[in-house]
Structure 1
């Protein structure tokens, strides 16, 4: 996995990784936001959308039970993400912190 940073300030926007013959664009904690034929296209996607999509509503999917829940990202770091469970991120709402390993482990998926 290779970090993608904005040129003018060095801000981490996400990552790209080659899988088979495609390049995968990911946000900072490792969730996939797209696949591309070239590394350049994946990097451009991360630079364009990698930070902006963190403000979107996501769906947290339990891959074991099939249950879906709308979530908001409260904190995103390389290797982990803290989610507000439910449609709004307000004080007192239940939260869940998942590591990148947990997201890659086959139990949880975050999709836009």
Structure 2
């Protein structure tokens, strides 16, 4: 199967599944698996399984629950609100004070948590 035909078929299957009400992740994954199976045969399913296994059992994922836990602690203790309030008081006279305050509060949370993704979880 030509790459352009495979891409059009994959997008068409994905859009049909989305219109049926399936979640985006399932629609993308299922349509990719179907088109991969049609294009490359069973080797695509072997590659899909092996790649999933390597990704899930990668040791780099080990600290992720701890970052999320720290983000939950910051959210429950309202530390993010306190940091934003302090930054807002410091920068209220500057033009664009809301943006500057948000950036500084986000930087403070990211410095506390050690990961910007966890800071996004904590502040929202």
TM-score by length of 2: 0.22
The structure number with the bigger radius of gyration is 2
More helix by share: 2
More strand by share: 1
